[in-house]
């Protein structure tokens, strides 16, 4: 297998794995996903491929600096992408340019030991100030007239991993009013404009797709990025829990 692929090049899980296919679908839906590329399933680290990987890193580094006016070298996040499932425990974060090829080799060897073939998603690592999940309905009550935002400081694994109690913000779809009291607005980790942006986006995506969804998100220097989207089907709603 030869060249690296851009994130929106393929939705074929047999080529880019489930995670790669999912990110490609998000990009094609017009959602803002951190820039990156994919090493397809079956890639080989020959000289030409290693050069392509470094060039890919340089491209996403340059585009981030240009688009965001950031004068610094970014780091990468490397995420394994399998044909059948994803293993988030193997994610490598904060990988510098000179560490990139060794990081790819590490993930490749781990996969080979398990007898599995993988693709690797390489993206700009986000420096998230806030992150979390926004649901197009209230998953705790199944109320379709409410949007629920869960938000936490820093990167989203603190929220998604259940390691901390997130800020909870309910928004009435009929009025657009939030559940926050005036004194609470100053204490939560989101600005009013960000609450409105998340609310508007998840409602737009729900209407486009025709079913309730959850979006995992992160704000990096004020810019919203989408990390994952999931359908809120009956099984997921039944398993959802949170404490008031």
- The tokens of 141 are what? 């009550």
pLDDT digits over 161-175, tens only? 555 678 889 999 999
The reported pLDDT for the residue numbered 215 is 92
Tell me 138's DSSP state: B
- The tokens of 170 are what? 């309910």
pTM: 0.82
C-beta of residue 126 within 8 angstroms of C-beta of residue 27:
no
Computed from CA positions of residues 201, 81, 126, 129, in that sequence, does the dihedral angle turn out positive or negative?
positive
Residue 39 backbone phi and psi in degrees, to 5: -90, 115
C-beta of residue 131 within 8 angstroms of C-beta of residue 217:
yes
- Mean pLDDT highest for which of 143-152, 157-166, 224-233? 143-152
The distance from CA 78 to its chain's CA centroid, rounded to whole angstroms, is: 12
| Count of beta carbons in the 10 Å neighbourhood of residue 119 | 28
- Mean pLDDT of the 146-155 span: 88
Q: What's the angle, vertex CA 206, arms to CA 204 and CA 211, rounded to 5?
A: 165
pLDDT digits over 3-38, tens only? 899 999 999 999 999 899 999 999 998 999 999 999
- The tokens of 23 are what? 């990110």
Q: Residue 243 — pLDDT band, cuts 50, 70, 90?
A: very low
**Distance (Å, rounded) from C-alpha 127 to C-alpha 175?**
33
- Mean pLDDT of the 70-96 span: 79
Where in 1-145 does DSSP place strands (E)? 5-6, 36-39, 76-81, 92-95, 119-124, 128-135
Helix, strand, coil tally for the chain in percent (to 5): 35, 25, 35
Where in 21-144 does DSSP place strands (E)? 36-39, 76-81, 92-95, 119-124, 128-135
């Amino acid at each position: 297998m030869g060249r690296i692929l851009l994130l929106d090049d393929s939705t074929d899980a047999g080529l880019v794995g489930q995670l790669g296919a999912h990110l490609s679908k998000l990009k094609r839906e017009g959602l803002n996903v951190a820039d990156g590329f994919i090493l397809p399933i079956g890639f080989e680290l020959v000289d030409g491929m290693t050069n392509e990987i470094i060039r890919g890193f340089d491209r996403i580094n340059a585009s981030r600096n240009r688009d965001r006016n950031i004068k610094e070298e970014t780091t990468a996040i490397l995420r394994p992408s399998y044909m059948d499932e994803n293993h988030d425990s193997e994610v490598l974060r904060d990988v510098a340019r000179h560490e990139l090829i060794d990081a790819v080799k590490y993930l490749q060897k781990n996969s080979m030991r398990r007898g599995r073939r993988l693709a690797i998603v390489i993206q700009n690592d986000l420096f998230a100030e806030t992150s979390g999940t926004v649901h197009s309905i209230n998953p705790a009550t199944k109320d379709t007239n409410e949007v629920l935002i869960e938000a936490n400081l820093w990167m989203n694994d603190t929220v998604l991993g259940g390691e901390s109690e997130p800020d909870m913000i309910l928004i009435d779809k009929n009025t657009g009013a939030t559940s926050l009291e005036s004194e609470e607005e100053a204490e939560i980790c989101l600005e009013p404009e960000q609450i409105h942006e998340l609310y508007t986006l998840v409602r737009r995506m729900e209407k486009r797709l025709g079913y309730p969804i959850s979006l995992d998100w992160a704000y990096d220097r004020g810019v919203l990025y989408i990390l994952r989207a999931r359908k809120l089907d009956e099984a997921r709603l039944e398993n959802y829990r949170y404490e008031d």
